[in-house]
Chain A
Amino acid sequence: MAILRRTPIGPLDYGRRLWIRASLLATFVFLYAPIVTLIAFSFNDSRRNIVWRGFTWKYYEKAWNNDSLFEAFTNSLSIAFFSTIISTVLGTMVAVMLWRFRFPFKGAYEGVMALPIVIPEICMGIAMLVFFARVGWPTGLPWPFNLSAITIAHISFSFPFVAVVVRARLVNFNRELEEAGKDLGASEWEIFRDILLPFLQPGIVAGALLAFTLSLDDFVITFFTAGPETITFPVKVYSMVRFSVTPEVNAASTVLIVVTVVLTSVALWLQNRGQKEAGGM
Chain B
Amino acid sequence: MDSWRRSPLVFWIFSIPPSVWLIVFFLAPLALVWVISFGEKRGIVDIAITGTLENYWRALDPLYLQIFAKSFWFAGITTTICLLAAFPIALAITFASPRWKPILLLIVILPFWTNLLIRTYALIAVLRTRGYVNFGLEWVWDGANGFLAAIGLGDMQLLGAQFQPLQMLYNNFAVVFGLVYVYLPFMVLPLYASLDRMDKSYLEASLDLGASQLRTFLSIVVPLAMPGIISGVIITFIPTLGAFLTPDLLGGTDSQMIANVIERQFKSANDWPFGAALSFLLMYITFFALAVRSLMSKGTSAMEAG
Q: Which residues of A contact B2 (CB under 8 A)?
A: 100-102
Chain B interface category by residue count: 35 or more
Q: Which residues of A contact B249 (CB under 8 A)?
A: 241-242
Most buried by A among B125, B200, B238: B125
Interface residues contributed by chain A, number (CB under 8 Å): 81
Q: When the two chains form their complex, are residues A38 and B118 in contact, meaning their CB atoms are under 8 A apart?
A: yes
Interface residue stretch chosen among A54-62, A66-74, A114-122, A197-205 = A114-122
Q: Min CB distance, A13 to chain B, in Å?
A: 6
Q: When the two chains form their complex, are residues A116 and B26 in contact, meaning their CB atoms are under 8 A apart?
A: yes
Interface string of B22-36 (1 = CB under 8 A from A): 100111111011001
Given A27-B184, A134-B32: A121 touches B242 (CB 8 Å cut-off): yes
Q: Which residues of B contact A33 (CB under 8 A)?
A: 126
Bound Cα distance A272, B119 (Å): 27
Q: When the two chains form their complex, are residues A102 and B116 in contact, meaning their CB atoms are under 8 A apart?
A: no
A46 within 8 A of B: no
B123 within 8 A of A: yes
Q: In the complex, what residue of chain A is closest to B185 when comparing beta carbons?
A: A31
Q: In the complex, what residue of chain A is closest to B259 when comparing beta carbons?
A: A122
B1 within 8 A of A: yes
B207 within 8 A of A: yes
Bound Cα distance A221, B241 (Å): 16
Interface residue stretch chosen among A138-146, A253-261, A273-281 = A253-261
Bound Cα distance A11, B220 (Å): 14
Q: When the two chains form their complex, are residues B125 and A35 in contact, meaning their CB atoms are under 8 A apart?
A: no
Interface string of A116-130 (1 = CB under 8 A from B): 101111111011111
Q: Which of B11-41 contact A (CB under 8 A)?
A: 11, 14-15, 17-18, 21-22, 25-30, 32-33, 36
Q: Which residues of B contact A64 (CB under 8 A)?
A: none
Q: Min CB distance, A225 to chain B, in Å?
A: 10
Most buried by A among B26, B115, B238: B26
Bound Cα distance A102, B8 (Å): 11
Partner of A23, one of B4, B28, B89, B114: B89
Interface string of B265-280 (1 = CB under 8 A from A): 0100000100110011
A186 within 8 A of B: no
Partner of A112, one of B10, B22, B29, B272: B22
Partner of A127, one of B4, B33, B200: B33
Q: Which residues of A contact B113 (CB under 8 A)?
A: 213, 217, 260-261, 264
For the complex of A and B, 6 pairs with smallest distance between CB atoms:
A120-B242, A131-B29, A34-B122, A127-B29, A97-B14, A38-B122
Residues of chain A at the chain B interface (Cβ within 8 Å): 11-15, 19-21, 23-24, 27-28, 30-35, 37-38, 41, 48-50, 89-91, 93-94, 96-97, 99-103, 112-113, 115-116, 118-124, 126-131, 134, 152-153, 155-156, 159, 163, 188, 213, 216-217, 219-220, 224, 234, 237-238, 241-242, 245, 249, 253, 256-257, 260-261, 264, 268
20 A-B pairs, CB-CB below 8 angstroms?
A12-B204, A15-B96, A30-B184, A38-B122, A48-B130, A96-B14, A102-B4, A103-B11, A113-B18, A120-B282, A122-B279, A123-B242, A126-B276, A130-B33, A130-B266, A220-B244, A241-B249, A249-B121, A253-B118, A256-B115
Residues of chain B at the chain A interface (Cβ within 8 Å): 1-4, 7, 10-11, 14-15, 17-18, 21-22, 25-30, 32-33, 36, 85, 88-89, 91-97, 100, 104, 106-108, 110-111, 113-119, 121-126, 128, 130-132, 135, 181, 184, 200, 203-204, 207, 213, 238-239, 241-242, 244-245, 249, 259, 262-263, 266, 272, 275-276, 279-280, 282-283, 286, 290
